[in-house]
Amino acid sequence: LVRNMAMCLLATATALALSKVPDVRVLDVYSHNKNCYTEGLVYDPTQKVFFQSCGQYDESKLVELDATKSGNTIDSVSLEGHVFGEGVAIYKESLFQLTYELQIGYVYNKKNISEKPTQLRFFTDSGQGWGMTTDTDNNTLIVSDGTETLYILNPTTLKTVGTVSCSYIDPVYKNRRSLESINELEYIGQGTVLANLFFPGYYLIWKIDLASGHAQAVGNLTTAALENGLIFSDYDHVMNGIAVDSALQPTKIYATGKYWYCYSCYDSYIEFIIFRDKMLVLD
Does 37 or 157 have the greater pLDDT score? 157
Q: Residue 247: CA atoms inside 13 Å, Cβ hemisphere, count?
A: 6
Q: Which residues pair with 135 in a beta bridge?
A: 140
Asked whether the beta carbons of 151 and 189 are under 8 A apart, the reply is no
d(CA 274, CA 258) in angstroms, rounded, equals 11
Residue 106's SS3 state is strand
Mean pLDDT of 44-55: 92
- Residue-wise pLDDT for 141-169, tens only, equals 999 999 999 999 999 999 999 999 999 99
Read off the pLDDT band of 269 (50, 70, 90).
Answer: very low
CA separation for the pair 53, 106 (Å, rounded): 12
- Compute the distance between CA of residue 114 and CA of residue 101 in angstroms, rounded to an integer: 23
Amino acid in the structure at residue 151 = Y
pLDDT exceeding 70 applies to what percent of the chain?
Answer: 77
Residue 265 parent element (H or E): strand 262-266
Question: With 60 as the cut, is the pLDDT of residue 54 above it?
Answer: yes
At 80, which amino acid appears?
A: E
Residue pair 38/274 in contact (Cβ under 8 Å)? The answer is no
